[in-house]
Structure 1
Amino acid sequence: MAERGTMSWGLSHLFVTVFVFNFSHFMVIPAMTDVSMAALCPGEDECSFAIYLTGVQQAIIGIGSLVTMPLIGNLSDQYGRKMLLTFPMMLAILPTVILAYSREGGFFYAYFVLKTLTSMMCEGSVIFLALAYVADNVSEQRRAPAFGILSGISSCSFVAGNLLTRFLPSTDSVFQVSAATAMVSVVYMRVFLPESDVTAAAIAVASEKDTTDEFLLEKGNINNRRNRRTVPSFRDSFALLKSSSIFSQAAIVAFFNMLGDLGLISALLYYLKAEFHFDKDQFADLMIIHGIAGIISQMFLLPMLTRVINEEQLLAIGLAFNCIHISLLAVAWSSKVVYLASTLQILSVFAGPSLRSIVSKQVGPTEQGKAQGCITGLCSFAGIISPLIFSPLTALFLSDHAPFQFPGFSLMCAAFIVMIAFIQSIMIKAPISNSKTEEHDPLAAP
């Protein structure tokens, strides 16, 4: 009981850390479109330069993340989740501080460069390290609902951040509050979050081995340190992808789903700005609807459905509704349709936690960081390709030179890509579990 209480306490601190960190990140999103266009194309509702610049940034971040995400995941297996959480959380503060000071042209470009560099380590790393932390402390049978709760916490921070942005008096205060909150999240994590049991044990074993190697080296009994911990390589990630057919299929689904989602993200705000003249407040309203749908789905529906439906089926359901959601946005004829389509998030958000749960079950307890980092790195590869496809499409079909009148064409292409992920997902077959007993589980009933 004491062990269970300790783990539950650790997960509680993890959830608070994720909430506060994401809160600081999400609250600036509604304001960024207006800030970017004011700096790059003042007084205009359509700005191809801003679209292309955002696409270039996304591609550069994707290239960097493709290298750093698997590395961070592997290192977290060796040195601990807490240590590897510290660096991206601290780096993420710096770009926001610049916009908290000023959003004039020079400061915006400084923010842009620093944001691009820091996002190579920060974008996605906090959430996948949090997923690995949960997997360390929750049994396989309960990982899908546990991952759903973690995603639900993120949705709560999404709603809270956008609500605060909606009512803050100025854009200045948005970035100032965001920077201050990000600092609080780092301090809270360092003070209260304990290291997960699995990685703490791995660190202890590795440290003992290092000490033994040093002693033998001093005595002349060994000539090198080949047995000591080494920096992981791309070969580790490729070997992991080939280790299981289910893992490989899940990786394909993750890639195409992320490619479609990034297409949606890169195009949607500019599309809504050009077609329906959305501003900061309307962007915040839309994101609040998304967040509330995510909270209901991940905190309540997903834990109940996992009792009767396996992760593979939930993944297919989530992808199907995500495809419908994006398609409706693409053909929206009024802002009411946009808000209506957003309610489908209540089912489409099943995909993320279900996919991560499938992945976590394909590896051992000391490889959770490697597995989650590998999938995140693959998603980063989608981040390289996405702007090459969607930035030109979005700019072209929102301009006066479109080959035919279909402003949401890039969104429809994103829906088609998500459909490919859906088709692949229905080919994943749930394995027959060999587990006879359930591990310790802080989320299970006592």
Structure 2
Amino acid sequence: MDSSLQQRPGARRAALAFIFVTVLIDILSFGVIIPVLPHLVEQFTGGDIASAARWVGVFGMVFAAVQFVSTPVQGALSDRYGRRPVILISCLGLGLDFVFMALANSLPMLLVGRIISGIASASYTTANAYIADVTPPEQRARSYGMIGAAFGLGFVVGPMIGGWLGGIDLRLPFWFAAGLALLNFLYGWFVLPESLPPERRSARFDASHANPFGALRLLRSHPQVFGLAAVVLLANLAHYVYPSVFVLFADYRYGWGPREVGWVLACVGVLSIVVNAGLVGRTVRALGERRTLLLGLACGVAGFAVYGMADSGWMFMLGLPISALWALAAPSTQALITREVGPEVQGRIQGALMSLVSLAGIVGPLLFANVFALFVGADAPAQLPGAPWYLAALLLGCAWAVGWRYARPAARSL
């Protein structure tokens, strides 16, 4: 990619199509294991749902802790050596790791596989920096919305396939995920262009920014970014309620197995595509990035409250279109943040933001899994399986308050 790419709409659209497909295949590979991983953990724990919930929390915490350390390194490497090699190494590592997890015959082996996944998962961080490389600031919210649509599409097809394969054998989705990740590697090797030309790269690999704490200090050096980063942290902490408890919650409260969970997650993905691909750009043009951010967070609060109250499956489904509008918030936040920094630090900023996501992931899985276990276990103070959703709604409410304070039009938000 040359530095004039932002002024060449045709080349820019082609580059975004490349990164869209790359992210889509990557998310598909993760999506197929969502309906089965908690059940595989449950098998290794002897079928005890409370124990399985706690172990799922441990898996999520460890995955996020590894990402907390590794994503700033990946961001700094992409600033120094380009986005393409980081994406390729990520895809190859994930493909080999899914093979390892498919062969795991114990809980410790499965946990080691998740650790390797945390190290290899770099495509989303680098994709965000890639978009900032090739897209003018005023068009970034829409472009980030398209990446959100790739996530949604991945979660439509992935959990459906994973639920169907998992109904046959809990190991089959891991083999399928391995094939997708390795296909993604081949796609990137032959098709994906570089977005950061040598003249726009960092002069050296900066070790002070290639660690989570140095990366967080980098955020503090950009005050407006730091305020918006708090929104990212709180929103992602709330988001971890899904991977932490949804599968076991749906089984406990509604009797849903892998196939039913796969269909529900597919529905979530369809709604995410509609919002990200069809509504983000229009809403930002109509309301501006700040108001779009606040609207999305408010819808997330309402949707989680519905989930918590739903005592039947059809009531839970009523919350899906409401919570889907939460997807308006993330592209707006990303667009606001990328306006504040130059191309030479976009990778490090995105790596720092992903460190915050990982920090949320260290706390979130244990927090939500233990809250769920507390309220469904034999010694529960009250039978309240919806408690994790209420907690997530509270966290999003806090994110809304922080967004109201820091996402100001005076800071070029509109």
Same fold (TM over 0.5): yes
Which moved further from structure 2: 385-394 or 348-357? 385-394
The match for 1:51 is 53
- Per-residue deviation, 1:263: 3.0
Distance in 2 between residues matched to 1:291 and 1:350, nearest whole Å: 14
Is the counterpart of residue 368 in structure 1 residue 368 in structure 2?
Answer: no
Q: Find 2:66's aligned residue among 64, 67, 80.
A: 64
Matches within 5 A, 1:103-252: 105-106=105-106, 108-115=107-114, 117-123=115-121, 125-168=122-165, 170-171=168-169, 172-196=171-195, 198-203=196-201, 206=203, 228-233=204-209, 234=211, 236-252=214-230
Inter-partner Cα distance in structure 2 for 1:148 and 1:256: 20
Give the aligned residue type for 1:152: A
Task: After superposition, give the CA deviation of every residue in 1:263-312 in whole Å (9 maximum; x if it has no partner).
Answer: 34312221111111110011011101110110000001111112122112
The reply on whether 1:399 has 2:399 as its aligned counterpart is no
Trace 1:399-438 onto structure 2 (pairs within 5 A): 399-427=377-405, 428-431=407-410, 433=412
| TM-fit CA distance, 1:240 | 2.5
How far 1:335 sits from its partner (Å)? 0.6
- Taking a change above 3 Å as real, the CA distance of residues 139 and 47 of structure 1, as seen in their structure-2 partners, is same
> Identity, % of aligned pairs?
24
| C-alpha spacing 1:242/1:98, structure 2 compared with 1 (3 Å) | closer
In terms of mean alpha carbon deviation, does 125-134 or 136-145 score higher?
A: 125-134
**SS of the counterpart of 2:265?**
helix
Q: How large is the Cα RMSD of the aligned pairs?
A: 2.3
Q: Deviations over 1:208-252 (max 9, x none)?
A: xxxxxxxxxxxxxxxxxxxx5443435642443223332111111
Task: Report if aligned partners of 1:34, 1:279 keep a CA contact under 8 Å in 2.
Answer: no
d(CA) in 2 for partners of 1:275 and 1:254? 30
Please say if residues 249 and 385 of structure 2, whose CA atoms lie closer than 8 Å, have aligned partners that are also in contact.
yes
Does the Cα contact within 8 Å between 2:272 and 2:324 map onto a contact in 1?
Answer: yes
Distance 1:128 1:342 in 2: 27
AA matched with 2:77: L
Partner of 2:41: 36
Query: Are positions 1:339 and 2:337 aligned together?
Result: no
The alpha carbon displacement at 1:190 in A equals 1.4
Instruction: Assess, with a 3 A threshold, how the Cα gap between structure 1 residues 59 and 28 changes in structure 2: closer, same or farther.
Output: closer
Q: Which has the larger radius of gyration?
A: 1
Query: Is contact 2:159-2:262 (8 Å) kept?
Result: yes
Q: Distance in 2 between matches of 1:230 and 1:174?
A: 39
The whole-number CA distance in structure 2 between the counterparts of 1:132 and 1:386 is: 25
Offset from partner CA, 1:130-151 (integer Å, 9 cap, x none): 1110110000000000100111
Map of 1:352 onto structure 2: 330
- The residue that corresponds to 1:314 in the other structure is 292
Amino acid at match of 1:429: R
User: What is the CA-CA distance between 1:53 and the residue it aligns to?
Assistant: 1.5
Q: 1:434, CA displacement in angstroms?
A: 11
SS at match of 1:366: helix
Tell which deviates more after alignment, 153-162 or 261-270.
261-270
Q: Which residue of 1 aligns with 2:26?
A: 21
Say which structure is richer in helix. 2
How many pairs does the alignment contain?
404
Q: CA, structure 1 residues 389+173, in 2 after alignment: closer, same or farther (shift >3 Å)?
A: closer
* Contact residue 75 and residue 231 of structure 1 kept, 8 A: no
Alignment-derived partner of residue 288 in structure 1: 266
Compute the TM-score of the two structures, normalised by the length of structure 1. 0.85
- In the alignment, the residues of structure 2 paired with residue 15 and residue 62 of structure 1 have an alpha-carbon distance, to the nearest angstrom, of 24
Amino acid at match of 1:315: L
C-alpha separation in 1, matches of 2:119 and 2:288: 33
Contact 1:321–1:348 (CA<8 Å) still a contact in 2? yes
Q: Deviations over 1:11-51 (max 9, x none)?
A: 22111111112112111211222222223224xxx512211
Say whether residues 1:86 and 2:88 are aligned partners. Answer: yes
CA distance in 1, matches of 2:262, 2:412: 43
Q: Give unmatched runs, 5+ long, in structure 1.
A: 207-227, 436-446
Q: Report the secondary structure of 2:35's partner residue.
A: helix
- Deviation, structure 1 residue 319: 1.0
Cα offset for 1:4? 3.9
Contact 1:311 1:358 (8 Å CA) reproduced: yes
CA distance in 2, matches of 1:324, 1:200: 46
Distance of 1:307 and 1:143 partners within structure 2: 12
